[in-house]
Amino acid sequence: MSQLRKGETVSTFSEMAEAWMRENMPMTEPQQAAPEDAKGSIAQDSPAKWRIRGGWTSIFPHCPYCASYALYRENNIGDYECLTCRRTGIEESTARQVM
């Protein structure tokens, strides 16, 4: 075990690294990710098709039988196969309909 400060002992490398960072890194105030005037504009800029009944998840294909989103089609060509209920032959137009 090594000792960094009086009374502080560490036994693993991660504990030693955390203790070193605590003592040597300057404390800074966290900055905001977006300016104040840009907040709230994300919902206004979203495409109109995301605001339809069913929410934004309705644009993703889903199984019309079990409502699962776990659909598969080989090379992204042809009809979908549901990996949950194992139904095959689900056309894209059927899979993308709003529930």
User: Residue 4 in 3-state DSSP?
Assistant: strand
**Which tens digit of pLDDT belongs to each residue from 63-78?**
989 988 899 998 888 9
10 belongs to a structural domain: yes
Q: 67, 54 in Cβ contact below 8 A?
A: no
**Which tens digit of pLDDT belongs to each residue from 11-59?**
788 887 787 777 777 666 666 665 655 555 555 555 555 555 555 545 6
Rounded-to-integer distance, Cα 10 and Cα 2, Å: 6
Q: Give how many domains the chain has, as a whole number.
A: 2
Instruction: State the pLDDT confidence band at 1, using cuts at 50, 70 and 90.
Output: very low
CA angle 66, 69, 74 (to 5 degrees): 110
> What pLDDT does 82 receive?
93
Instruction: State the pLDDT confidence band at 6, using cuts at 50, 70 and 90.
Output: low
Question: What domain range includes position 18?
Answer: 1-25
15 belongs to a structural domain: yes
Q: 1, 10 in Cβ contact below 8 A?
A: yes
CATH code, domain with 79: 2.20.25
